[in-house]
Amino acid sequence: MKKIKRKTIIIILISIILLFFISLYLYYENNYLQVSNYTIESNKIPKDFDGFKIAQISDFHNTKSKKLTNDLVEEIKKTKPNIIVLTGDLVDSYKTNINVVISFVEKINDIAPIYYVTGNHEARIDNYDELKDKLEKNKVIILDGKLEIIKKDNSEINLVGIDDPSFNFNTYRDDSTIIQDSLVPIKYNKNNFNILLSHRPELIETYAKNNFDLVLSGHAHGGQIRIPFIGGLIAPNQGLFPKYTSGIYEMNNTKMIISRGIGNSVLPFRVNNRPELVVIKLKNK
């Protein structure tokens, strides 16, 4: 009996120690920000835009982590971006807190101009108009099917943004058709360097078909659980072992950068997949 009790105590102690270290690891993975830097070279990037910086935040999901939010704000300040882009899912439709989102935006809206496109979670909430109104009052430029021409000295590049296809819920069209139809009315000079903000990375074929030079996206949460040498485990609209989850991809002449995002949603934790601030530097080739 004594041996059995001793073994039981040892097993319990080992279990407690394991749980402690697993909890520490999960806290680190979900609250410690990673900054990923990319340089995009193109002969379409004007010399005046050489060194132009873009800070990309995606899938904020009104995170409750004050540490993560504060670190994110500080890193954006350190980066000194020329513009900040928010590529969807600022809120989470399962635990929506608009005040958390606006508090974050208020902390960064004096750093650089902010441009925003919606994600699928904004399409699900009943009070999106309230979110939109508060964002606009905080100087956020909402690109819902619009073109913004960014000027620097005597040169310009184009920034295009579109709503998430989930906003078209009363239609039988597939997502790629919805996106294509959204892009048709936007008249942008294809000779300029063209950047598209769109939440959905799995629609890269549609973006490439429209000759965008650079696409900034999110949505996949890095595949949530990242397996070494394999990649992400699961992503919305892509299922198991998704193709487009994190990093840079290229199709034809289009490059797409996918942010792993900041917050979580249905799956409340990340594994081997820290929250990410993406910083892009443009370079004249």
pLDDT tens per residue across span 151-192: 999 999 999 999 999 999 777 899 999 999 999 999 999 999
54 in the same domain as 172: yes
Based on the domain organization, do 1 and 100 belong to the same domain? no
Do 56 and 177 lie in a common domain? yes
Residues 93 and 188 in one domain: yes
- Asked if residue 47 and residue 9 are part of one domain, the reply reads no
Indicate if 50 and 3 belong to the same structural domain: no
8 Å CB contact between 225 and 272: yes
- Give the total number of structural domains in the chain: 2
Q: What is the pLDDT of residues 229-270, one digit of tens each?
A: 999 999 999 999 999 999 999 999 999 999 999 999 999 999
Domain of 195 in residue numbering reads as: 34-284
Give the pLDDT score at 145. 97
**Residue 181 sits in the same domain as residue 214:** yes
Same domain, 134 and 159: yes
Identity of the residue numbered 44: K
Q: What is the pLDDT of residue 248?
A: 98
Residues 98 and 227 in one domain: yes
Same domain, 21 and 77: no
Q: Say if residue 80's pLDDT is above 90.
A: yes
Q: What is the 3-state secondary structure (H, E, C) of the chain?
A: CHHHHHHHHHHHHHHHHHHHHHHHHHHHHHHCCEEEEEEEEECCCCHHHCCCEEEEECCCCCCCCHHHHHHHHHHHHHHCCCEEEEECCCCCCCCCCHHHHHHHHHHHCCCCCEEEECCHHHHHCCCHHHHHHHHHHCCEEECCCEEEEEEECCEEEEEEECCCHHHCCCCCCCHHHHHHHHHCCCCCCCCCCEEEECCCHHHHHHHHHCCCCEEEECCCHHHCEEECCCEECEECCCEECCCCCCEEEEECCEEEEECCCCCCCCCCCCECCCCEEEEEEEEEC
What's the mean pLDDT in 126-132?
97
Contact 217, 198 (CB under 8 A): yes
| 1 and 44 housed in the same domain | no
How far apart are alpha carbons 70 and 84 in whole angstroms?
16
Is residue 141 located within the same domain as residue 227?
yes
Task: Find the mean pLDDT for residues 195-199.
Answer: 98
What's the pLDDT at 4?
Answer: 64
Q: What pLDDT does residue 3 have?
A: 57
Q: What residues have CB less than 8 Å from 4, skipping those under 6 apart? A: none
Taking residues 138-142, report their average pLDDT: 97
Q: State the average pLDDT for the chain.
A: 96
